[in-house]
């Protein structure tokens, strides 16, 4: 039962326990776990800087996101709502942000500066937390789910719109074609309430499938 496990996935022991529970829920995932090997925790900074990282990482590689992050940190000093709102669009653009991502990061900064506490999301039901984040203009479901999974350790999050997860699920479940978002979300219902462990496991499996090329967003 989930009540016997940690409330969040915040360390390697938590992750191992949740993967063990997942395998008991769906024995087929045991074969995936054996093939995937070590599943990294991929814990990232919570708060505004973490949300900015996820927004920057949309539709680009992790290495490209890291390079943009480094340039943004150089330009701003520290990545806070105050420094983002004070910076010019040109400074953010030179760091490598698109116009759309500049707008989303500014909207997120304003949301936090207006009083929303991102850390409060850890105590919310996962779906309520997603709704709270997607209230920010430009923040979609994938961004919200990745933030909740990697920054706050929510235990039952599955970013079904992620292409690497879709491809890993196709191979793991021996499907004829890569399932689209709604289809893979339906498949993930079998992994409740351990979908975060399933997502982390499938990202690790994807890396094995691709010969070390990482598909995880963090």
Residues 6+ apart with CB under 8 A from 38: 204
pLDDT recorded at residue 61: 83
Would you give the end-to-end CA distance of the chain in angstroms?
28
Provide the whole-model pTM.
Answer: 0.93
Give me the domains of the chain, ranges plus CATH numbers.
2-42+157-209 (1.10.1670.40), 48-139 (1.10.340.30)
pLDDT value for 1:
41
Round to whole Å and give the CA distance between 119 and 47. 6
Q: What pLDDT is stored for residue 215 in this prediction?
A: 86
How many whole angstroms separate alpha carbon 151 and alpha carbon 179?
27
pLDDT at position 6 is 87
Residue by residue, pLDDT tens for the chain (218 residues) are 444 688 899 999 999 999 999 999 998 899 999 999 999 998 888 899 999 999 998 888 888 889 999 999 999 999 999 999 999 999 999 999 999 999 999 999 999 999 999 999 999 999 999 999 999 999 999 999 999 999 999 999 999 999 999 999 999 999 999 999 999 999 999 999 999 999 999 999 999 999 988 888 88
What's the rounded Cα separation, in Å, for the pair 182 and 12? 30
- HSE toward the beta carbon, residue 95, CA cutoff 13 A: 25
pLDDT of residue 28: 87
d(CA 139, CA 108): 8
């Amino acid at each position: 039962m989930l009540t016997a496990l940690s409330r969040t996935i915040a360390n390697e022991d938590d992750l191992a326990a949740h993967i063990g529970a997942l395998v008991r829920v769906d024995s087929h995932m045991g074969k995936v776990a054996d093939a995937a090997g070590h599943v990294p925790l991929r814990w990232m900074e919570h708060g505004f800087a973490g949300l900015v990282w996820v927004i920057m990482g949309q539709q680009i590689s992790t290495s490209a996101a890291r390079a943009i992050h480094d340039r943004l940190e150089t330009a701003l000093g520290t990545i806070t709502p105050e420094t983002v709102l004070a910076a010019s669009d040109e400074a953010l653009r030179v760091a490598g942000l698109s116009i759309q991502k500049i707008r989303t990061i500014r909207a997120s900064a304003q949301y936090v500066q207006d009083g929303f506490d991102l850390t409060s999301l850890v105590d919310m039901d996962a779906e309520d937390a997603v709704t709270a984040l997607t209230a920010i203009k430009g923040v979609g479901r994938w961004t919200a789910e990745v933030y909740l999974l990697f920054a706050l350790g929510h235990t039952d999050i599955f970013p079904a719109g992620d292409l690497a997860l879709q491809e890993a699920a196709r191979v793991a479940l021996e499907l004829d074609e890569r399932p689209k978002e709604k289809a893979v979300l339906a498949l993930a219902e079998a992994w409740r309430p351990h979908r975060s462990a399933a997502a982390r496991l499938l990202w690790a499996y994807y890396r094995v499938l691709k010969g070390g090329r990482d598909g995880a967003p963090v």
